[in-house]
Chain A
Amino acid sequence: MKINGTEFDEKESASPDLLSPMERRAFLKLGLAVTGVFAGGAILSLTSAVQNAFASGGHAKKYPYKPHYSMLVYQNRCIDCELCLEACVKTNHVPKYGYRTAILEREAPKSTGTKREFIPVLCNHCNRPPCVRGCPTKATWKDEKTGIVMMTYHKCIGCKTCIAACPYNARYYNDERTSVDKCDFCFDTRLSKGFKTTACAEACPANARVFGDLSNPSSEVYRMVHQIEKTVWVIRPESGAVPNVFYTRG
C-alpha cells in the first residue's frame, strides 16, 4: 500500500500517551519481568506472560511428560531453618560430605526492605539436561514418563562430566555408592512407594517448596506458572537447559 505524505499525516498517532493505563501497566509489567528487575536483576527472569518462554514446554507447546514433575519455590518464605535439608539427608541417605539440596543466601544491604533472602536449590530436572547429554554411559538419564533426571549408580564411571556440566551444582560424587548422586525428587524413596510429595517439600514448615505436576491444571505449580500477576522465574535460563524448578515470591 502506498502512503503519500498527506495520508500519513492524517493517521492516528501511535504515541504511548494514547494507550489506556491498563495497557501501559501490562506492558511495563511484562518488560520488568522479562528484564529481571523483579528478581533484583541478578537472576534472569521468565514469566508466563511471554509466549514460548515457559521454562518447560515452551518449545514443545505442550508438556512432554505426564506427570511433569516440577517444583515451585516461594523464595521469600524460606527462613533457612534447614528442615528440608535434614529431611533429604534422612530420606535419601545423603552422606555428610555431600548434599542433594541446599539453601543459598543472598544479602542485599542496600535494599529498602528485607536485607537478606534464602534460595533453596536442587536438581532442576531440566528438559534438556546437560548432564544427561554429557554422560558417556547413560548412567544418568531422563525418565520418559515423569521427566525426572535419574541415576543408574552401577553404570557411573566417575568421570564427573555431569558435575561440570550441571548449571546448578546439583551433583556430587558419593563414595559409598561409587557413583555420582543427585536429587531424584525422592522417586526411589517416596514417589515410587506411593507418596505424593518430596521429603523436602513435606518438611518445609513455611510451604516454601511446593512439589507438583506442571501438566496438571489443578496443581499449584501449574497455577503459579500459568499466570501473569506475579513474576515467576528460573535460575540460569541462559544455559539452555530448560529447568523445571520455578521461583517466585508471595
Chain B
Amino acid sequence: MADNLTKATNATTDIRLLWAWQTVVNRLSGVGKGYYAWLAISSALLVAGVAAGIHAFVVGYSHLYNCTREVPWGILISTYVFFVVTSTGLCLVSSIGHVFGSKDFMPIAKRSVYLSILTIVAGFLVIGLEIESPHRMALYNVISPNLTSNIWWMGTLYGAYLMFMAVEFACLQFDRHKLAMYAGFLGVVSGVAAHSNLGAVFGMLTARPLWYGPYMPIYFIASAMMSGCAAIILFTWLASKVNREPIRGEMAKAIDLTRQLGILMICVIMFFQTWKIIAGLVGGELERETFLTLLTGQYAFNFWTLEVLAGMVIPLALYILSRGTNMKMLFWGSLSMIFGIFFMRYDLVVVGQIVPAQFEMGVNEYASLLPYTPSPHEILVVLAGFGLVGAFFLLGEKIFAAHRVEAHDEETHAKKLTVLETAEKTE
C-alpha cells in the first residue's frame, strides 16, 4: 500500500517535472534570432568576465587589478554598489504595489522582484571576484562576527534580503499573494537596512571627509529609488520588444506612475548633490580639493557629461517630454539615466580616494592626485555583472512567460491540466 503510494507520488513528481521542462523548452523555442543573439552576447560576457575574475584570483588581484594601497577600492566596488543600489531600488519601487497595496503599481511587481534578485546576484558576483578571500568570509562572518562593522551588517542583511526576495518571487509564481506580501515586506525592511549600511560603509569612515557623515546612507536610499524607476522602465520596454507586446493598459499606467516617481527622485538627488557640493566647497582642504577635482579637474567630464547630463538632465527632460505615453522617449531616458548612474557610483568611490586622505599634511607623497584606471580584467568582471543580468533577464522573460500576472496563471493552469490528462490516458 505504502509502496503504491510512493510510486504514485514519484510518478506525479516525474510528470510535473516533465511538464515544467516541456514548458520551458516550448517557451524558449521559436523565438526570433535577435533574442538568441542577445542571449549569446550576454552569456559570452558573463563567461568571459567570470573567467577573467577567476584568472585574477589565481594569479593574485594585485597583479591584474589596478587597485593600490592608497586606492584600495576601484571599479569593482563601484559596480557592486551600482548593482545593489539598482536591486534595492527595484525592490522599493515595486513594493509600493504588492506590499503597500497601491494597485496601480501591481503590473510591474513580478518582473521587478525577479530583476531585483538578478541585480543583487550580479552585485555579489562582482564583489565575490573582488574580495581577496571570499571563502573565509563565509566562515568568519558566522563564527567571528564584528557587530560594529557596517560591512558585516551589509553582507548579512543583503543575504537575508536575497532570501526574502527569492521567497517572494516563488510565492508570486504560485499565486500565494499574502505570503508574497509578507516576504516582500521583510525584503523591503532588510533591503533598506542593508542598503543604508552600505552607505554607512562609506559614511562612517571618519578618515575620509568626503564620505563621512549621515549623508551617505540617506543618499543611497534616495538614489536607489531613482535607479529603481529607471530600471523598471528600461526593462519593461526591453521586455515589450522581447515579447513583441506593446506596453498598454494597466502596464502603461504603472509605467507612467513610475515615470512620475522617477522625476521626483531625480529632483531629490539633484537637490542632495547640489548641497553636498556647496557644503563641500566650504569644508576642509581635502573636501574642497575633491569637489574641485570633480567640478573643474580631472573628473569634470565624468561629472558634468556623464553624471549630470546623461544621468539626470537628459532623463529628466525625456521623462517630462514623454508625458508618460511616448515609450521610446522613456526608454532612452532610462537608458541614459542608468548609464549616468554607473558613473555616479564610480566617481563616488574612486574620486573619494584619489585625493589622498593625508592631503592636508602637506607632504610631497600626498601632494597630488593618486592614479587609478580600471584594468582590462576589472572591466571584464564588470561586464560579467551586466552579462548575468542580460542573460537571465532574457531567459526570465521566456521561462516566466513575460511575468504576466493574470494571463500567465491561466495559461499555466490550462497547460498543466492538458499534460496531466495526457499522462492519465497513457497510464
Partner of A169, one of B73, B134, B201, B358: B358
CB-defined interface of B35-73 with A at 8 Å, one 1/0 digit per residue?
000000000000000000000000010100001011011
Q: How far is the CB of A141 from chain B (nearest CB, A)?
A: 9
**A171 vs B364: C-alpha distance when bound (angstroms):** 19
Complex Cα distance, B69 from A175, in Å, reads 12
Out of B62, B140, B145, B364, which one reaches A106, CB within 8 Å? Answer: B364
Query: Is A165 positioned at the interface, with any CB of B under 8 Å from its CB?
Result: yes
Which chain A residues lie closer than 8 Å to B146 at the CB level?
A: 133, 135-138
A240 and B206 within 8 A (CB) = yes
A104, B70: Cα distance in complex, Å: 15
Residue of A98, A137, A154 touching B145 (CB-CB under 8 A)? A137
Looking at B109-117, B148-156, B339-347, the stretch in contact with chain A turns out to be B148-156
Provide the residues of chain A in CB contact with B205, threshold 8 Å: 130, 134, 164-165
Residues B152 and A133 in contact, CB atoms below 8 Å apart: no
Of A104, A175, A236, which contacts B365 at CB under 8 A? A104
Q: B residues within 8 A CB of A160?
A: 67, 72-73, 132
Which residues of chain B from 326 to 382 have a CB within 8 Å of any chain A CB?
353, 356-358, 360-366
Residues in chain A near residue B404, CB distance under 8 A: none
* Chain B proximity mask over A102-140: 1 for CB below 8 Å, otherwise 0: 101111000000000001000000000010011111110
Question: How far apart are B135's CB and chain A's nearest CB, in angstroms?
Answer: 9
Q: Judge whether B204 is part of the interface by a CB distance below 8 angstroms.
A: yes
Is B1 part of the binding interface, using a Cβ–Cβ cutoff of 8 Å?
A: no
Q: A130-B205, A167-B207, A240-B206 are in contact. Are A175 and B60 (CB under 8 A)?
A: yes
Contacts of B150 in A (CB 8 A): 134
Given A98-B69, A158-B131, A164-B208, verify A137-B364 contact (CB < 8 Å): no
* Closest chain A CB from B299 CB (angstroms): 19
Would you call A236 and B358 a contact (CB within 8 A)?
yes
Is A169 a contact partner of B151 (Cβ separation < 8 A)?
A: no
Q: Given contacts A139-B140, A164-B72, A175-B60, is CB(A159)–CB(B151) below 8 Å?
A: yes
Cβ-neighbour of B149 out of A102, A161, A240 (below 8 A): A161
Residue of B nearest to A116 (CB): B364
- A137 near B141 with CB under 8 A, answer yes
Could you tell me which residues of chain B, from 204 to 256, have a CB within 8 Å of some CB in chain A? 204-208
Q: How far does the alpha carbon of A119 sit from the alpha carbon of B363 in the complex, in Å?
A: 9
Q: Does B28 contact A (CB under 8 A)?
A: no
Contact yes or no, A138 B365, CB < 8 A: no
Q: Are A156 and B136 in contact (CB under 8 A)?
A: yes
* Nearest CB on A from B137, distance (A): 4
- Whether A136 contacts B206 in the complex (CB less than 8 A), given A104-B364, A159-B131, A173-B69, comes out as no
How long is the Cα–Cα vector from A105 to B204 in the complex, in angstroms? 29
- Cβ–Cβ < 8 Å partners of B70 in chain A: 169
Residues of B within 8 A of A106 (CB): 361-364
Minimum distance in angstroms from B393 CB to a CB of chain A: 29
Residues on B with beta carbons closer than 8 Å to the beta carbon of A139: 140, 144
At the interface, yes or no: A232 with Cβ under 8 Å from chain B?
no
| A239 contacts partner chain B, Cβ-Cβ < 8 Å | yes
B200 shortest CB reach to chain A, Å: 10
On whether A166 and B365 interact (CB within 8 A), knowing A158-B133, A160-B72, the answer reads no
Complex: A165 Cα to B366 Cα, angstroms: 17
- Chain A, 199-250, CB within 8 A of any chain B CB: 235-236, 238-241
**Across the interface, do A166 and B363 meet the contact criterion of CB distance under 8 Å?**
no
| Whole-angstrom CA separation of A14 from B383 in the bound complex | 72
Q: Which residues of chain B are near A161, meaning CB under 8 Å?
A: 149, 151, 201
Are A155 and B208 CB-contacts (below 8 A) given A106-B362, A133-B148, A178-B133? no
Flag whether A168 is at the interface (Cβ < 8 A). yes
Q: A130-B205, A158-B131 are in contact. List 5 more A-B contacts (CB 8 A).
A: A135-B149, A138-B145, A158-B132, A178-B132, A239-B206
Q: Taking beta carbons and an 8 Å cutoff, which residues of B are in contact with A? A: 60, 62, 67, 69-70, 72-73, 131-134, 136-137, 140-141, 144-146, 148-152, 155, 201, 204-208, 284, 353, 356-358, 360-366
Q: Which 9 pairs between the two chains have the least Cβ-Cβ distance?
A: A158-B132, A167-B207, A137-B140, A136-B152, A160-B72, A42-B362, A104-B363, A157-B137, A163-B72
23 contacts between A and B (CB under 8 A): A42-B360, A104-B364, A130-B207, A133-B146, A133-B204, A136-B145, A136-B152, A137-B137, A138-B146, A154-B136, A155-B136, A155-B140, A157-B137, A158-B133, A159-B132, A159-B151, A160-B67, A161-B151, A163-B69, A169-B358, A172-B69, A173-B132, A239-B207
Q: Enumerate chain A interface residues (CB-CB to B < 8 A).
A: 40, 42-43, 97-98, 102, 104-107, 119, 130, 133-139, 154-161, 163-169, 171-173, 175, 178-179, 235-236, 238-241
